């Protein structure tokens, strides 16, 4: 099937352990002339020479209110405010029959992207939606602190602070989460994963059964049990021994080729609806190795793997 894609920037980086005011999408889009490497150039090349339909919708930037709230320690309110804006943009993409590719930003912004996904497919169409969460971390921490470690707790309505609540019709069920490459858990997260029986394809599992078998099983599971699925790709899912351009590099994750195969095959599936890429920090990427990796991953989501 031929897809049309929207590239949506979500450069809001205020909820991780490294906060930055810089627009982290700018460096990714910009052409590095020496290596002829830049996302905008790449996108144009796919449209012009490969008959792709990819539109760069620009960035969803936090408004003054969202910035004010975050600067005054009201992180959850600031994130919620921002995610309302992001949710509207992602919903527009779904309503236009297009496939959103959202590039963050830290992982907290997935709150807005996933709420749009759940609203459009689960609430409005009554469809069963899964999320494949590719990450070093489980992101369902229920304690207070950096919100980039809690988007799944927020989406599942398991964040017991600040009167947080999610309407039942856009709530994510724990059973509908599929973890890949997750390897650094907090004790309450490990307990939640066990209690809820969440599918955990840790590096240990991947080594035991092999990457190919893990991916085949995952796709069979999504194919058999769901109408739609979304993929959320945290840069730190990659092996931190090489890929260190984020706040929390973590050794022992996915190889470049495993990650590219994973994204390429999931995005090629008819039930795939969209993807986001989070946590990449260009300022920690002096040689541009991770920039090249990010562009390849995004290109794999668009359907190319050469
Ligand atoms: Mn994450």
- What DSSP string describes 136-203? SB-----SSS-GGG-HHHHHTT---STT----GGGPPPGGGEEEES--B--HHHHHHHHHHT-EEE-H
Which residues are bridge partners to 59 per DSSP?
Answer: 9
CB 172 within 8 A of CB 121: no
Cα(150) to centroid(ligand 1), Å: 8
Checking if the pLDDT of 36 tops 90, the result is no
Domain borders along the chain are: 5-301
C-beta neighbour count of 122 within 10 angstroms = 20
- The alpha carbon of 178 and the centre of ligand 1 are apart by a number of angstroms equal to 13
Kindly give the distance from the C-alpha atom of residue 105 to the centroid of ligand 1, in angstroms, as a whole number: 11
Whole-number Å distance, alpha carbon 134 to ligand 1 midpoint, is 8
What tens digit of pLDDT does each residue of 44-63 get? 999 999 999 999 999 999 99
Per-residue pLDDT tens digits for 230-252? 999 999 999 999 999 999 999 99
| Spacing, Cα 13 to ligand 1 middle (Å) | 13
- Rounded to the nearest angstrom, the distance between the alpha carbon of 148 and the centre of ligand 1 is 6
- Residue 306 pLDDT exceeds 80: no
Rounded to the nearest integer, the mean pLDDT of the chain is 96
200 Cα: distance to centroid of ligand 1 (angstroms): 15
Q: Each residue of 125-170: pLDDT tens digit?
A: 999 999 999 999 999 999 888 999 999 999 999 999 999 999 999 9
286, pLDDT greater than 90: yes
What does each C-alpha distance from 207 to 73, 120, 138, 181, 292 come to in angstroms?
A: 42, 36, 19, 11, 26
- CA–centroid distance, 49 to ligand 1, in Å, is 34
Between the CA of 45 and the centroid of ligand 1 the distance, in Å, is 30
Whole-number Å distance between alpha carbons of 66 and 78: 4
Measured in angstroms, how far is the CA atom of residue 47 from the centroid of ligand 1?
Answer: 31
**d(C-alpha 197, C-alpha 210), whole Å:** 21
Q: What is the mean pLDDT of residues 211-224?
A: 98
| DSSP single-letter state for residue 103 | E
> H or E element: which one contains 58?
strand 54-59
Distance CA(116)–CA(103), nearest Å, equals: 15
Q: How far is the CA of 42 from the centre of ligand 1 (A)?
A: 26
Mention the CATH class of domain 5-301.
Answer: alpha beta
Residue of 227, 125, 119 whose CA lies nearest to 166: 119
């Amino acid at each position: 099937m031929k897809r049309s894609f929207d590239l949506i920037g979500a450069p809001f980086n205020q909820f991780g352990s490294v906060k930055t005011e810089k627009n982290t999408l700018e460096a990714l889009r910009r052409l590095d002339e020496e290596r002829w490497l830049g996302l905008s150039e790449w996108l144009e090349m796919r449209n012009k020479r490969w008959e792709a339909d990819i539109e760069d919708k620009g960035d969803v930037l936090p408004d003054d209110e969202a910035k004010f709230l975050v600067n005054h320690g009201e992180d959850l309110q600031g994130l919620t405010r921002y995610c309302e804006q992001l949710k509207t943009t992602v919903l527009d993409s779904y309503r236009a029959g297009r496939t959103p590719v959202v590039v963050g930003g830290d992982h907290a912004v997935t709150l807005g992207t996933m709420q749009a996904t759940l609203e459009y497919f689960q609430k409005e169409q009554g469809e069963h939606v899964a999320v494949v969460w590719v990450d070093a971390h489980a992101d369902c921490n229920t304690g207070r602190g950096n919100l980039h470690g809690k988007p799944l707790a927020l989406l599942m309505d398991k964040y017991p602070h600040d009167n947080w609540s999610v309407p039942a019709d856009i709530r994510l069920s724990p059973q509908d989460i599929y973890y890949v490459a997750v390897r650094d858990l907090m004790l309450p997260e490990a307990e939640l994963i066990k209690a809820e029986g969440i599918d955990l394809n840790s590096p240990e599992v991947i080594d035991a059964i092999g990457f190919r078998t893990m991916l085949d099983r995952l796709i069979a599971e999504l194919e058999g049990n769901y109408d739609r699925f979304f993929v959320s790709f945290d840069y730190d899912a990659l092996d931190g021994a090489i890929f260190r351009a984020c706040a929390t590099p973590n050794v022992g994750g996915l190889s470049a080729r495993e990650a590219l195969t994973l994204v390429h095959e999931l995005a090629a599936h008819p039930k795939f609806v969209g993807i986001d890429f989070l946590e990449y920090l260009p300022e920690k990427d002096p040689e541009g190795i991770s920039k090249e990796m990010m562009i390849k991953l995004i290109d794999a989501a668009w359907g190319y793997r050469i």
